[in-house]
Chain A
């Protein structure tokens, strides 16, 4: 079956530091890949996505590239802010059955300190 493995947290960084959160996946076929973010007290939000190999998803200064050869989708940001403190989930979905069944990783908590 499908699975997603992401680095364990918490990750604590100083403001303006570089962020990488590693994510690898196992899937049959050609899944779409996502990063979701959950800010304190809020619901899950889609941060970025990539639907095919070599696609780069980007949003709010975050980027991730769909690497089929390494089955990875690492999240990066060049300069984090305190407001980026949240839990980040890597996820994939396949389209078997004609709908999106999303498989999530366990989440990585990011804390950015001033």
Chain B
């Protein structure tokens, strides 16, 4: 299938380490979103890319979190000096550009990366 893929599916790391989480969006989707889903909660918005640029990074919790999308396709979410509170499922979603007159462009979600910080 040609859905959104995320790697790794699971990541266990130690407190203070650096991690990278990868997202491969659906081919041709220009918009890409990262969300974080803590246990028992709904996903929370982190950052939105339109093409290569981060159009809205207001959801990133602090400067330990950073994301890139250098060629406008694959995106990497980077977390420095991980803390136990960073443990969550990190979700990526992609969508097409909004068509003229359309009220909504569906976001297609990947299966997520479960990050555990020990």
Q: Which residues of B contact A42 (CB under 8 A)?
A: 111
Q: Which residues of A contact B4 (CB under 8 A)?
A: 43
- Give A102-114 as 1s and 0s: 1 = Cβ < 8 Å from B's Cβ atoms: 1111110000000
Bound Cα distance from A52 to B102, whole angstroms: 12
Q: How far is the CB of B51 from chain A (nearest CB, A)?
A: 12
Given A89-B42, A91-B42, decide whether A43 and B48 contact each other with a Cβ distance below 8 A.
no
Q: Which residues of A contact B107 (CB under 8 A)?
A: 46, 100, 102
- Give A78-102 as 1s and 0s: 1 = Cβ < 8 Å from B's Cβ atoms: 0000000000010101010111111
What bracket does the count of chain A residues touching chain B fall in?
20 to 34
A44 within 8 A of B: yes
Q: Which residues of B contact A46 (CB under 8 A)?
A: 106-107
Given A42-B111, A106-B40, decide whether A100 and B56 contact each other with a Cβ distance below 8 A.
no
Contacts from B to A (Cβ < 8 Å): 3-4, 31, 33, 35, 40-45, 48, 50, 55-56, 91, 93, 95, 98, 103-107, 109-112
